[in-house]
């Protein structure tokens, strides 16, 4: 039995859907004041790896930086502003300087993690074309590991930024996985199956250990891609209805991220309580995210015509 790395690309939307479901479950666990739900702690790592694969393929077709940045900024910022602008205006005592500070994402400096991942992914988009260019050098494979060490210690110096810093290494490593995917590398699945299963088991164990989160993130750096490979194997065997549902969720990940933690989850918990509200927030958020995606497609089509492709 063979494992084809190109399956990462074929199942990209499904993997995006899994990543976002894990992130939503993680957010629900935070607000229940309990231990994190097993395995969901790597939702962001999964998302960054799959994003890197998509960016690698995009840059392989067209390396024009201006076009690359334009598409991604127009995909992210309008939707972000539609959600975040009224959110910050409503949820805090309005003061223009503070409002713009929060809206810009700089509030993470003050350990305020409002929509922090938007800043993370925009920085990753900024770096992606340059890292893609570096991959022609064989020693570039060392960069993710160097980044892992450097960002770990930077996270110790700047703890409010650690949540972002400790994720850049896995994003870079995702580019090297993407090269295997792009070249359709094949390996005997029995060689990697034990590593995949071990990674899936170890992630929740490490997530519940009482150690510094930075050390946990180092472990997730090594475990996330084998765990993702295990997810790919499972997806190849899953029923078509589940496959289609994951594709649907994977197509509205930005909208789900923006709506779930700060809006749907909190609103539903206020009405239905911590547990019921957390459970109900997930389907509600998916419906609202889908409606938001339709709205944004119409707005983008009106403003930018055919220039915007999500």
Residue 201 corresponds to which tokens in the numbers above? 């088991």
Which segments of the chain are extended strands (E)? 2-4, 186-188
- Which of 21-35, 83-97, 127-141 is the least confident region? 21-35
Looking at residue 261, what DSSP letter applies? I
Instruction: Choose between 91 and 240: higher pLDDT.
Output: 240
3-class SS of residue 2:
strand
Q: Please, is 18 exposed, middle or buried when counting C-beta atoms within 10 Å of its C-beta (0-12, 13-18, 19+)?
A: buried
Q: Is 16 left (phi over 0), alpha (psi -120 to 50) or beta?
A: alpha
Asked if residue 308 has pLDDT above 50, the reply is: no
Task: Express each pLDDT in 197-206 by its tens digit.
Answer: 999 999 988 9
8-state DSSP, 186: E
pLDDT at residue 302 is higher than 90: no
pLDDT value at 309 more than 90: no
pLDDT tens for residues 232-280? 999 999 999 999 999 999 999 999 999 999 999 999 999 999 889 999 9
Q: Structural domain tally of the chain?
A: 1
Residue 200 sits in which domain range? 2-307
Q: Residues 6 or more apart from 177 whose CB is under 8 A from it?
A: 5, 8, 49, 52, 53, 225
- Residue 305: what pLDDT? 62
Indicate the pTM of the whole model.
0.93
Q: How confident is the model at residue 37 (pLDDT cuts 50, 70, 90)?
A: low
* Token pair of 235 as six digits: 């997806």
Per the CB < 8 A criterion, the answer to whether 58 and 51 are in contact is no
pLDDT of residue 287: 98
């Amino acid at each position: 039995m063979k494992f084809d790395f190109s399956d990462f690309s074929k199942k990209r939307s499904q993997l995006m859907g899994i990543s976002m479901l894990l992130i939503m479950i993680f957010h629900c666990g935070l607000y229940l004041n309990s231990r994190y739900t097993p395995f969901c702690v790597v939702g962001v790592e999964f998302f960054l790896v799959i994003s890197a694969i998509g960016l690698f393929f995009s840059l392989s077709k067209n390396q024009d930086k201006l076009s690359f940045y334009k598409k991604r900024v127009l995909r992210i910022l309008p939707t972000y502003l539609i959600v975040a602008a009224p959110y910050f205006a409503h949820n805090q005592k309005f003061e223009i300087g503070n409002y713009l500070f929060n809206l810009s994402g700089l509030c993470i400096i003050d350990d305020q993690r409002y929509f922090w991942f938007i800043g993370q992914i925009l920085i990753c988009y900024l770096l992606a074309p340059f890292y893609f260019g570096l991959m022609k050098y064989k020693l570039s494979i060392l960069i993710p590991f160097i980044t892992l060490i450097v960002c770990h210690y930077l996270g110790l110096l700047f703890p409010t930024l650690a949540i972002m810093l400790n994720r850049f290494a896995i994003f870079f490593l995702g580019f090297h996985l993407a090269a295997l995917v792009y070249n359709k590398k094949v390996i005997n699945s029995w060689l990697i199956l034990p590593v995949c299963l071990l990674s899936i088991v170890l992630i929740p164990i490490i997530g519940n250990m009482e150690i510094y989160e930075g050390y946990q993130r180092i472990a997730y750096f090594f475990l996330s891609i084998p765990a993702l490979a295990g997810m790919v194997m499972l997806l190849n065997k899953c029923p078509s209805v589940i496959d289609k549902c994951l594709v649907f969720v994977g197509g509205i990940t930005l909208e789900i991220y923006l709506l779930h933690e700060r809006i749907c989850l909190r609103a539903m918990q206020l009405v239905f309580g911590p547990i019921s509200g957390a459970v109900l927030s997930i389907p509600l958020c998916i419906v609202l995210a889908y409606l938001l995606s339709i709205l944004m497609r119409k707005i983008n089509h009106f403003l930018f015509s055919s220039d915007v492709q999500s």
